Amino acid sequence: MKAVLPIYYQIKQTIRNWILNKEYNPGARIPSENELAERFNVSRLTVRQAISQLAQEGFLTSRRGDGTYITENVNLLDSYSFEFRGLIDDLFFAQIAPVKTKSAEIERKIATKLIREKLELRNKVAEVIQIKRIRYLKDRLFTYTINYLPLEIGTKIREKALYDKPLLRILEQDVGIRFTGAVQTIEAQFADHEVAKNLEIPSGSAVLFVERIMYTKRQKPVEIFQSSYRGDMYKFIVRYKNVLRKGESRWSVESTDSRNRG
């Protein structure tokens, strides 16, 4: 396990994933504190701290003298098992229902050198509109997003509208922008202080970082989308297909799914 996060937290996440991945069914007994301490090579106190937090979150119930059991609250477990249709729909259109904006902030500020380059702004003191949003999925904190827009576009965005519909739709429907393409980058990162605070996770936690640059005609960049998704809510599944071509066996990607795992 990585030393970036507290050991008890790593154990907690491991047990949590066991539950959500159905390695233990609802109502099943999990290994004892002694067994878990031996498995993870830690003290019982560390294991107890992890179990205590999972019990507070409703995943586990302790029965004195009998052990610790997975909750039988199926509704709770199902609420952490929402599955998206696929990678593109998920990370490109994750702005549509059931993702809801719970906090939005619009600010006018001087663009950094990197933002200027990505938006192809020539003025060294060019201003942009920065939009920060905290978004939830089924009432669970899901992603922290920052968008950058040139002034002529960003000043047309109203904060109230961000609670009603996705920014992408606002730009298309209300502002009248016709996007012709996008370049999207997906990578694993560690949460810095700002991201960790807004996602309510420890600093240094793994997050899935997505950056997308949106283009209009003539390949003009008009929006930068940067979003950090809680790493403990995602896993990617790639399905391969073995295809015989010209007498040779070749593997190809059949489909790629993005799955929310709570």
Q: Compute the distance between CA of residue 169 and CA of residue 164 in angstroms, rounded to an integer.
A: 10
Is the overall model pTM greater than 0.95, yes or no? Answer: no
Could you list the beta-strand ranges (E) of the chain.
60-63, 67-70, 99-110, 127-137, 140-150, 181-190, 206-216, 220-230, 234-245, 248-260
| pLDDT score recorded for residue 248 | 79
Lowest mean pLDDT of 15-29, 81-95, 99-113, name the range. 81-95
CATH number belonging to domain 7-79: 1.10.10.10
Longest dimension (CA), the chain: 70
pLDDT digits (tens, 9 = 90+) for 34-59: 999 998 899 999 999 999 999 988 89
247: left (phi over 0), alpha (psi -120 to 50) or beta: left
Local structure of residue 56 (DSSP, 8 states): H
Instruction: Classify domain 88-231 at the CATH superfamily level.
Output: Chorismate lyase-like (3.40.1410.10)
Residue 20's alpha-carbon distances to 13, 59, 102, in angstroms, are 10, 9, 25
Domain ranges for the chain: 7-79, 88-231
How far is Cα 28 from Cα 22, in angstroms, rounded to an integer? 10
Model confidence pLDDT, tens digit, residues 70-92: 998 877 776 665 444 334 444 45
